[in-house]
Structure 1
Amino acid sequence: MICPNCGSNNPDGTAFCANCGSPVSNGAPNNGAIPPQAQPNFQGSAPNGGMTPPPVFNGNPFPGGHIEQRNIALCIILSIITCGIYGLYWIYKLTEDVNTLKGDPNATSGGVVILLGIITCGIYMWYWLYKQGDNLDQIKASRGLPAGNSGILYLILAIVGLSIVSYALMQNELNQLA
């Protein structure tokens, strides 16, 4: 059978052209058959030698999803009033928001960050603050925004006992990126 679209020769009884995938009308019903999809030629290769498609962002030009903006003053006041309990929730949400914006499914979750912070008596939190600043800088750079050394600033503030200021600065960055 000759394809009316591209002119290639196909075996008798085929419903769709093997070359271009368009229907080949032979008068027989296609019994619900779906035409073969033409495979695009993507650049780059997967570990198994196959080609990998480009990432899909679900209409959002940036990886990740939507994050909620938070009132920084309210977060600080609630952290003070609850003797730091709300601060733990705030750390959890900061971690999850950065992970969402970064689009990394293997990133450390907020619950693990809090657990490691408690187990290490807060020392892990210094590392976490540095990494969060670094992650925020990477997110800003990927969006074409100027990025500094936020991780170092957050770390220095935490070392001198102003971790809550680091959280507030981080929340301000997240509010701007949301």
Structure 2
Amino acid sequence: MVLLYNVIDALVQSRKISRGYLMRCENCGNESPEGSKFCIKCGKEFKGPEPAVCPHCGAEISAGTLFCPSCGRSIAAPEGELGGGAKYEPLPPISDPQSASYTSNIALDIIFTLITCGIYYFFWQARQFKAVNHLLEQQRYNFWLWFILTLVTCGLYNIYYEYYLAQGLVEAQEKHGRQKSRDLPVLSLILTVIGLNIVTDAIQQNEINKFFGK
């Protein structure tokens, strides 16, 4: 039996050297070839990597996913946790008597945009510009400038402006001491380029609503 084990072990070691890939057993510490289901020495089964899950809703996700396909939230860091495992205390919503004019029901925004063939979309954009200007405490976003240049450029200017607006939201998050959605500008740009403007605005509106506890 010992002789048989020595022969098998020698074959395994030679295969390790030729391939250069090793799997270490957690039970006995012996190294086995990559792809082995069981340890060649103690017979313990190798466990595969645990599937990644969304830290917010628990849905299974693919490795490297930026946003959960189930709940749509960023999975860069779990709620209440920053990079490096540092904890943060969620800040209370911004108390503002005009908050009702900045927040909205996203589902209704989408429905109204669809049933009005896009007309409501302009009112939605104007409200978002007003909200981000309020959060930044400056008049950075101008609706009429956006409207005219978007028409003149056949919609191309809107691609840039969605990215620009998302940058303002990230700045507002930093200004008010909230967790930053660093990937929001790039995501907004990509969605707008492929024609999903309404999805871009839904995500941005969700970020705006968070400031006011909606």
Identify the TM-score tier after normalising by the shorter chain. 0.5 to 0.7
Q: Separation in 2 of the partners of 1:84 and 1:132?
A: 19
Say whether the 8 Å CA contact 2:106–2:206 is kept in structure 1. Answer: yes
Structure 1 counterpart of 2:109: 75
How do 1:21-60 and structure 2 match up within 5 A?
none
TM-score, normalized by length of structure 2? 0.51
| TM-score where L is the length of structure 1 | 0.60
Q: Does 1:131 align with 2:164?
A: yes
Which digits, 9 at most, give the CA deviation of each residue in 1:8-59, with x for residues without a partner? xxxxxxxxxxxxxxxxxxxxxxxxxxxxxxxxxxxxxxxxxxxxxxxxxxxx
Preserved CA contact (<8 Å) 1:126 1:158: yes
Mapped to 1, the partners of 2:99 and 2:108 lie a distance apart of 24
> What CA distance in whole angstroms lies between the structure 1 residues aligned with 2:174 and 2:164?
15
Aligned residue number for residue 98 of structure 1: 132
Which amino acid in the other structure matches residue 176 of structure 2?
R
Question: Structure 1 residues 132 and 80, CA, compared in 2 at 3 Å: closer, same or farther?
Answer: same
Does residue 1:174 correspond to 2:208, yes or no?
yes
Q: In the alignment, is the contact (CA less than 8 A) between 2:129 and 2:142 conserved in 1?
A: yes
Residue 120 of structure 1 corresponds to which residue in structure 2? 153
Structure 2: runs of 5 or more not aligned: 1-93
Q: 2:141 aligns with which of 100, 103, 108?
A: 108
From 173, 195, 199, the equivalent of 1:165 is: 199
Counterpart position of 2:173: 140
Q: 1-side partners of 2:201 and 2:208: how far apart? A: 10
Gaps of 5+ in 1: 1-59
Taking only the aligned residue pairs, the percentage that are identical comes to 32
Query: Are the equivalent residues in 1 in contact too, given 2:146–2:161 (CA < 8 A)?
Result: yes
- Asked if the contact 2:106/2:202 (under 8 Å) is kept, the reply is yes
| Per-residue deviation, 1:108 | 3.1
Distance (Å, rounded) in 1 between the aligned partners of 2:99 and 2:133: 10
Q: Which runs of 4+ in 1 moved over 6 A?
A: none
Question: 1:116 offset after TM fit, Å?
Answer: 1.4
Give me the CA root mean square deviation.
Answer: 2.2
Other structure's SS at 1:77 match: helix
Distance in 1 between residues matched to 2:183 and 2:165, nearest whole Å: 11
Q: Given residue 166 of structure 2, which amino acid in structure 1 is its aligned partner?
A: G
